[in-house]
Amino acid sequence: MTPKINFFYYKINIMIKKKIFVIGGDGFCGWPISLKLSKEDNEVTILDNLSRRNIDNELGTNSLTNISTIEERIETWESKTGKKINFYNINVAKEFDRLVNLLKEHSPDTIIHLGEQRAAPYSMKSSKTKRYTVDNNLNATHNILAAIVESKKDIHLVHMGTMGVYGYGAVPDTIIPEGYIDIKMKNSSGDFMDTKILHPAYPGSIYHMTKTQDALFFQFYAKNYKIRITDLHQGIIWGLHTDETKLDEKLVNRFDYDSDYGTCLNRFIMQSAYDIPLTIYGTGGQTRAFIHIKDSAQCVNIAVNNPPSSGEPVKIFNQMTETHNLLYLADVIKKVNPDTKVEFCDNPRNELVKNDLVVSNKQFLDLGLKPIYLDEEHIKEIFDSIKSNKNRVNMKFIKPMSFWKN
């Protein structure tokens, strides 16, 4: 090689911070995360089989926002920012050899894994959707881990998990810890000994169950193959835009408002905007953890830059910023739209009528997360986006249609 070429490579090295694969980078969380990481000068490659778009076709649903194709999204991003994002249409749950080859070819520093079916209600609809969720999610996660081992590359895996693995604590009034709990356990002499274990798993849906099973994959591969793994136990996402998705209408994020894929706060805002009573399941006393979509992208960026060491146990963060019950959400929405009505309906889910929820998120706060809290101003911004897409609303999806009691 000539000195000139050497210099050229050197320049690229200092410009590019990390090579990052985002599996599921076309989805609701994946797309804003990909843009955020690209904006931060990482070399981003999206791997996605576009399954979320296909499920829209299957259910007859649509994103409220008119999302562009992945190709248009990437072209627009490059034309606006000069930053390139690569894309491969690949099903990581099925195309193992291709995945290994991509790892060998690109040598990513980090893989963000969002390649899982992520709607709890969808996972509970039928045998078909249960089985798809189990087959896709578990094989996807395991293929990624086995591919990292096979590639012989030192890759940090960042997985999008869920707060739902905790099931609101193993004992009443606990502060939900970040992944692990300190317990006392009896030895053969009857003495209680201190030990630290993974928080016991209490999933409330097939989807959540697959995430508790993912945790065992991670524990095993971190211990036996010294893979560096971060598991993000995310709360319910709300919001729609990030600074990056707002740059151009072709970069807009998807917004789901059906009762399978729409998250509860987004759905409530949608119902209020279209004069439909908010359908509160049960008493409305169910408390959940929330996080704004911008903060989700910010957290992933922090996690990417703070990997565990090889040989360390799985690093687990609670990726949420606040907890609220459903009645509180309704109250905030009423402040933005005083005409909002509320309808209490039979709870289609097997869940506690009412629960408290206190969650530790100290790790992200210590690493610099500045949360966006749920307030009238942010709710109003979503309202306005929703109103501007009036022509795309299919009213039949705004009411609950997904039932999972059996």
**What tokens appear for 153 in the block?**
């590359």
Which positions are catalytic? 162, 207, 211
| 326 binds its own copies, rule: CB under 8 A | no
The token pair at 270 is 């949608």
Q: Is 348 in the site for its own copies (CB under 8 A)?
A: no
- Copy the structure tokens of residue 333: 């929405």
Residue 143 interacting with its own copies (CB under 8 A): yes
DSSP class per residue in 256-317: --STTTS-HHHHHHHHHHTT--EEEETTSB-EEEEEEHHHHHHHHHHHHTSPPPTTSPPEEE
Nearest alpha carbon to residue 269 among 351, 201, 215, 330: 330
Other Cβ atoms less than 10 A from the Cβ of 47: the count is 29
Residues 352-381 that bind its own copies (CB under 8 A): 358
Kindly identify the residues of this chain, within the stretch 108-127, that bind its own copies according to CB under 8 A: 127
- Region from 51-59, 139-147, 255-263, 279-287 binding its own copies, contact rule CB under 8 A: 139-147
Which residue stretch of 35-43, 164-172, 233-241, 314-322 sits at the interface with its own copies (rule: CB under 8 A)?
A: 164-172
Site string for its own copies, 19-58 (x = CB under 8 A): ----------------------------------------
Q: Contact at 8 Å (CB) between 351 and 345?
A: no
Which amino acid is residue 90, in one-letter code?
A: I
Asked if 172 touches its own copies (CB under 8 A), the answer is: yes
At 343, the amino acid letter reads E
CB of 401 to its own copies, least distance (A): 20
Alpha carbons 117 and 121: distance in angstroms, whole number: 11
Give the residue, chosen from 57, 184, 339, 346, that forms a contact with its own copies under the rule CB under 8 A. Answer: 184
Q: Which of 215, 259, 291 is nearest to 29 (CA)?
A: 291
Of these, 2, 13, 189, 391, which contacts its own copies (CB under 8 A)? 189
- The least distance separating its own copies from the CB of residue 344, rounded to whole angstroms, comes to 23
**Helix 264-273, helix 376-387: angle, nearest 10:** 60
Distance in Å, CB of 142 to its own copies, minimum: 5
Q: Rounded distance, CA 295 to CA 10, Å?
A: 33
Which strand ranges, in their side-by-side order, compose the sheet holding 322-325?
236-238, 287-292, 322-325
How many residues line the site for its own copies (CB under 8 A)? 51
Token pair listed for 43:
């070399």
Exactly one of 58, 80, 107, 185 binds its own copies (CB under 8 A); that residue is 185
96 vs 328 by CB, closer to its own copies: 96
Span of 2-10, 142-150, 155-163, 324-332 interacting with its own copies by CB under 8 A: 142-150
> Which range, of 205-213, 262-270, 303-311, 379-387, touches its own copies by CB under 8 A?
205-213
Q: Is 200 in the site for its own copies (CB under 8 A)?
A: yes
Which of 365, 296, 382 lies closest to 36, judged by CA? 296
Minimum separation from the CB atom of position 112 to its own copies (A)? 22
Interface positions with its own copies (CB under 8 A):
96, 100, 127, 130-131, 134-135, 138-139, 142-143, 146-147, 149-150, 170-175, 181-189, 192-193, 195, 197-198, 200-201, 203, 206, 209, 212-213, 216-217, 219-220, 224-225, 350, 358, 406
